Structure 1
Amino acid sequence: MNIRQDVHNSDIPALCQACEARHRGLCGALDPAQLITLAKQSWKQKADAGAELVGDSEKVASYSNVLSGVIKLTKTLADGRQQIVGLQFAPDFLGRPFKSESAINAEAATAVSLCSFPKASVERMMKASPELEHRLLVQTLKELDEAREWMLTLGRKTASEKVASFLLLIARNIDPYRADNMKDAVFDLPLTRADIADYLGLTIETVSRQLTILRKDGVIAIENNRHVTVGDLERLAKRAGR
C-alpha cells in the first residue's frame, strides 16, 4: 500500500475554508470553533489506485472525507470470493460511526485524496452537534436509496441498461462540484472491465459488447479504452431505463 500522509499545521482552518469538499461534505455542518478543533487533529492522505484504505473486520480508529478520486467498497466471502457492493466519490464520508470494526473492505479504485480524523473526535462532535448528526443521517439515507436503486438495476434491467446505468452513475458523481444541471460529462472509467462486470453481474465480454454498442450508436465516445465522453446525459439516462 502506498499512502502518503501530510499532517495539518496551525494554518489549516484557512485551508479548510478553501476546500471544495468541505462545503458539501461532513465539515460543512461544523461551526468555526468545531472546524478548528477537528482540523488540529486531522491529516490529509493520498493513496494510489489499488491501495487498501479499510480492511474488512479491521478495528476502526479514524474516519475520512473523500476529497477526490473513487473508492471501491467490497465484501469478501469465507472462501475468498469478493463482490463490489458500492462506490464512493467526493465528498462522501468513509466510515461507519459507532462501530468498533469495519464491515467492508475499502480500496482506492483510482488515485484518491482523503482528509482523515480520529473516530473518537468525530463521535464526540456528533453528540454535541445535531447538524453534524443530521448531515451523516442524510448521507446514510442517500446511500440506502442508491442501494435500493442498484438492486433494481441488478435484478430487473437488461445488460444494455446495466452498462448505461453504470456510466450514468459515474458521470453524475465523478465531479460533484458541477453535478447540478449537468447536460454532458467527460471522465475516465474508474474501474477495469473486470470490476465493471463484477459490479453489474455480467461477463467482461458482455460489458465490452455493450460499450461498443453505445459507442456505435453515438451515445458515448471512448478513447484509449477508458476515457469516456457523454455528449447528452439525458440520452444516456434513457438507455439506462430512466
Structure 2
Amino acid sequence: RGTVKLSRVLRDGRQQLVGLQFAPDLMGRLFSSESPLSAEAATEVELCRIPRDVLEGLVADSEGLKQRLLEQALQDLDEAREWMVTLGRKSAVERVASVLLLIATRMGGRDAHGNITLDLPIGRADMADFLGLTIETVSRQMSRLRREGVISVQGHRCVVIHDIEALGARSG
C-alpha cells in the first residue's frame, strides 16, 4: 500500500521526479541487477520484498504472473508516452489537471455525492518538479481549477474533485 516517488539523479546531482508508483504495482526491474531510478516513499508505504531471482523463477513458472507483469509494463509504457505529451505540449492548467487525474485514477474513490477526495501523495514542490513548472504556477493552476468549481482544496494536500469529467476535459 502507499505511493512511491521515482526519480532520476543526474551525474551532477540534479534530480528529476519521473513517476509515481502506486499499490499494487511491481516496483523494481526484472532481469537486471540495477535500475536507473531511485525510489522514495511519498506516503506511508507497506512493501512486500521478493528477491529478484525468486521473482524471476516465479515469472518463468507462471503464465498468469507473466501476463500480469506484461500488462503492467505496457501500461507503464502507455503512461510514459502520455507523460511525454503532457510535458511537451500541454499548458500549465492541462499539466496540473493531468497529474490530479492520474492520482485520482489510481487512488481515488467516489463518495455518495460523486466527489473524489484525494490526499495528494506529493506536495506542490514535487508536483512542480514532476510537471516541469514552478511551485507558483502549480498553485495558480490549482486556484484556477478551484475557481472553475472542478476541485476544492482542504489544507495543503487534500483535494476534492467535484467533476471528474471536467477535470478530464481540462487535462487536454
The bucket for the TM-score relative to the shorter chain is over 0.9
Which of the pair is proportionally richer in strand? 1
Does residue 229 in structure 1 map to residue 157 in structure 2?
no
SS at match of 1:117: coil
Total equivalences in the alignment: 169
How does 1:176-191 map onto structure 2 within 5 Å?
Answer: 184-191=115-122
TM-score (norm 1): 0.67
Residue type matched to 2:69 in 1?
L
Picking from 143, 166, 176, the partner of 2:99 is: 166
Distance in 2 (CA, whole Å) between partners of 1:80 and 1:202 is 19
1:168 offset after TM fit, Å? 0.6
Task: Judge which range, 95-104 or 74-83, deviates more.
Answer: 95-104
Picking from 108, 117, 124, the partner of 2:50 is: 117
Residue type matched to 1:142 in 2?
Q
Residue type matched to 2:133 in 1?
L
1:150 offset after TM fit, Å? 0.5
SS at match of 1:103: coil
1:102 offset after TM fit, Å? 2.2
How does 1:124-163 map onto structure 2 within 5 Å?
Answer: 124-163=57-96
**Per-residue CA distance 1:169-216 (angstroms, 9 max, x = gap):** 1111114xx59xxx5310111111111000000011100000011111
Distance in 2 (CA, whole Å) between partners of 1:211 and 1:114 is 31
1:130 offset after TM fit, Å? 2.0
SS at match of 1:97: coil
Distance in 2 (CA, whole Å) between partners of 1:207 and 1:143 is 24
**Per-residue CA distance 1:142-183 (angstroms, 9 max, x = gap):** 0000000000000000001000111111111114xx59xxx5
SS at match of 1:215: helix
* 5+ residue gaps, structure 2: none
Q: In terms of Rg, which structure is larger?
A: 1
Picking from 143, 146, 152, the partner of 1:212 is: 143
Distance in 2 (CA, whole Å) between partners of 1:74 and 1:125 is 28
Runs of 4+ residues over 2 Å off in structure 1: none
Counterpart residue number, 1:23: none
SS at match of 1:111: coil
**Per-residue CA distance 1:59-92 (angstroms, 9 max, x = gap):** xxxxxxxxx1111000000110000111111111
**Per-residue CA distance 1:104-144 (angstroms, 9 max, x = gap):** 10100111111222211111111111221121111001000
How does 1:30-69 map onto structure 2 within 5 Å?
Answer: 68-69=1-2
Quick one: percent identity of the two aligned structures?
Answer: 56
Distance in 2 (CA, whole Å) between partners of 1:213 and 1:187 is 18
SS at match of 2:47: strand
Counterpart residue number, 1:238: 169
Counterpart residue number, 2:22: 89
Distance in 2 (CA, whole Å) between partners of 1:127 and 1:89 is 25
